[in-house]
Amino acid sequence: MTTPLILVTNDDGIQAPGLALLADALKALGEVHVYAPDRQQSAVGHGVSLWKPLRVTQVREHWFQVDGTPTDCVMLAVRSLLGRRPDLLVSGINTGANLGDDVTYSGTVAGAFEGMLLGVPSFAISNVSHNPRHLDAAATFAVKLGRRILDHGMPEDTMLNVNLPDLPYEELAGVAITRMGRRNYQDEIIRREDPRGRVYYWIGGADPTHAQESGTDFEAIEKGQISVTPLHRDLTNHAAMHHFFEPQIEL
Amino acid sequence: MTTPLILVTNDDGIQAPGLALLADALKALGEVHVYAPDRQQSAVGHGVSLWKPLRVTQVREHWFQVDGTPTDCVMLAVRSLLGRRPDLLVSGINTGANLGDDVTYSGTVAGAFEGMLLGVPSFAISNVSHNPRHLDAAATFAVKLGRRILDHGMPEDTMLNVNLPDLPYEELAGVAITRMGRRNYQDEIIRREDPRGRVYYWIGGADPTHAQESGTDFEAIEKGQISVTPLHRDLTNHAAMHHFFEPQIEL
């Protein structure tokens, strides 16, 4: 059996400590290649650079930085630069949660989503703290989950979105298979004036709250568990496809 | 009954002809306010600007340009600047298809997705041609669909992704409620050298092909139909949640 080829990316950028920790840990499973954005790309969603050329710079053996999004990194690596399809893709370790509706904004999740679209077994992994003390616990779990995926494969058209509470590995309360929870949206637009009296706006501010629902990613984190949410390629709401659209829309 | 408030956005930017056509047509249904990016934002996905302030400039009555993504536009408008939640959001008319897996990259779709997250009945609308001759057909259908949504509401946690073939309205072969199809990914990375001999890459090139599957958005377009795909907020692959994860992952 050939050595597994493992692609690692992130959205916090190539300097992020979570990236190096993850890439080093995954060497236990195979040959690790890193393609990561040259700077912070959080909340870029599944953006892809169609309107500008991309530069790729090697920074050390098997490590490359790209002046684009996580999706750009994965496209370039898988469709061209790696030379063959990797056996596993891991995106992270992100600093900060990717839970509930926020997964749709996440560059970390988008990197894994692109891997899935390209047929690579893929997961995203995040520590929910903005100042994490236990990134190593996420690295340990990434190796465990990665080995399982290399051994058993993944459900078709599915990626995994993994979040860990910021706890030492031995204090984690197990692994929960979860569904995407729901953010409560609050008024989070901040209006300010610049030194020349012109108005500008910030999106964000207070940390958002979430709906209390059982079986969600949010609930697992509150219980001190690792949350593993399988996300699907197909966004169609199959249940809503027909009953709502009767009678048929006529031209 | 108060006049419906209608929010219009796009990802092709405030100068795009499809935006003006759409906004003008929707005046038949209520008071139309436009918040659109100040420049081309195609393929930005569901990106949101968390790391830079946003400027909003009024360009004429009820028309505002934002130096951000479609998601930024919708957040600013709905959560702050409109003053009340709109009754309908329409994103488009996009020049070029948003079909199959490409919906996850699409800024047009992301604008409507954000509307849905904020509780606004929302749809995205695109003409599949890169050089459309019949944008007016999409505007006509947007009014028809918008009226239906204002009268009957929308399924919960769902947005609609609408695509039209580039045909005159009277030549369209009806409306199909579809599911998301599947792109065939090909090798689309182009390698070039700049005048100084340094390598750069382009993503894209040849138009992608798609899987031949019945009931998909791609199939509807091939038949000359308008494709309406309901997309769901919840990306969880519920079917994959349990069977794959037996035995339970142990720490």
DSSP B121-147: -EEEEEES-SS-S-HHHHHHHHHHHHH
The pLDDT, as a whole number, for residue A88 is 98
The pLDDT, as a whole number, for residue B44 is 78
- CA end-to-end distance (rounded Å), chain B: 58
Contacts (Cβ under 8 Å, ≥6 apart) of B179: A234, A236, A238, A241, B215, B216, B217, B229
- CB spacing of A45 vs B71 below 8 angstroms: yes
Three-state secondary-structure class, residue A17: helix
* pLDDT band per the 50, 70, 90 thresholds, residue A119: very high
Residue B130 domain-assigned (yes or no): yes
pLDDT per position as a tens digit, A131-174: 999 999 999 999 999 999 999 999 989 999 999 999 999 999 99
Question: Of A209, A237, A214, whose CA–CA distance to A225 is shortest?
Answer: A214
Question: Of B53, B50, B48, B76, whose CA–CA distance to A130 is shortest?
Answer: B50
The pLDDT, as a whole number, for residue A1 is 65
Strand-pairing partners, residue A162, are A125, A228
Range of the domain at A12: 5-182+210-245
Tokens 């790696």 belong to which residue?
A: A82
Question: Taking CA B162 as the corner, what is the angle to CA B211 and CA A44, rounded to the nearest 5 degrees?
Answer: 80
Residue A196 domain-assigned (yes or no): no
Q: What is the DSSP letter of A54?
A: B
Residue A227 domain-assigned (yes or no): yes
CA of B106, closest CA in chain A: separation in Å? 8
When mean pLDDT is compared across A118-122, B1-5, B243-247, the lowest value belongs to B243-247
Indicate if the pLDDT at residue A240 is higher than 90: no
The rounded distance, in Å, linking the Cα atoms of B44 and B66 is 15
Residue A236 domain-assigned (yes or no): yes
Nearest CB among A71, A72, A180 relative to B235 is that of A180
Measured in degrees and rounded to the nearest 5, phi and psi for residue A107 equal -70, -35
The rounded distance, in Å, linking the Cα atoms of B23 and A39 is 37
Indicate if the pLDDT at residue B187 is higher than 70: no
When mean pLDDT is compared across A178-187, B156-165, B217-226, the lowest value belongs to A178-187
Residue A79 domain-assigned (yes or no): yes
A85 at the B interface (CB within 8 A)? no
Residue B49 domain-assigned (yes or no): yes
B chain contacts of residue A176, beta-carbon cutoff 8 Å: none
pLDDT per position as a tens digit, A11-37: 999 999 999 999 999 999 999 999 999
β-strands B199-203, B189-193 pairing: antiparallel
When mean pLDDT is compared across A37-46, B11-20, B118-127, the lowest value belongs to A37-46
Q: What is the DSSP letter of A147?
A: H
Residue A203 domain-assigned (yes or no): no
Yes or no: say if B201 and A54 are a contact pair by the CB < 8 Å rule: yes
The rounded distance, in Å, linking the Cα atoms of B91 and A9 is 31
Indicate if the pLDDT at residue A86 is higher than 90: yes
CA of B177, closest CA in chain A: separation in Å? 6
A251, HSE (Cβ side, Cα atoms, 13 Å): 16
B245 at the A interface (CB within 8 A)? yes
Contacts (Cβ under 8 Å, ≥6 apart) of A4: A29, A30, A31, A87, A88, A150
- The number of distinct structural domains making up chain B is 1
CATH number for position B164 = 3.40.1210.10
Measured in degrees and rounded to the nearest 5, phi and psi for residue A141 equal -70, -35
Q: What does pTM read for this prediction?
A: 0.93
- B148's tokens: 């239906």
The answer, yes or no, to whether the previous bond of B247 is cis (omega within 30 of 0) is: yes
The pLDDT, as a whole number, for residue A246 is 67
Indicate if the pLDDT at residue B182 is higher than 80: yes
Helices (runs of H) and strands (runs of E) counted in chain B: 5, 13
- CB spacing of B169 vs A232 below 8 angstroms: no
Nearest CB among B200, B232, B244 relative to A237 is that of B232
The pLDDT, as a whole number, for residue B210 is 86
Residue B197 domain-assigned (yes or no): no
Tokens 């393609």 belong to which residue?
A: A35
Indicate if the pLDDT at residue B170 is higher than 90: yes
Yes or no: say if A141 and A205 are a contact pair by the CB < 8 Å rule: no
Yes or no: say if B53 and A201 are a contact pair by the CB < 8 Å rule: yes
* pLDDT band per the 50, 70, 90 thresholds, residue B54: very high
pLDDT per position as a tens digit, A50-82: 788 999 999 999 999 999 999 999 999 999 999
- CB spacing of B199 vs A53 below 8 angstroms: no
The rounded distance, in Å, linking the Cα atoms of A39 and B161 is 32
- Quote the ipTM score: 0.91
B202 at the A interface (CB within 8 A)? yes
CA of A226, closest CA in chain B: separation in Å? 9
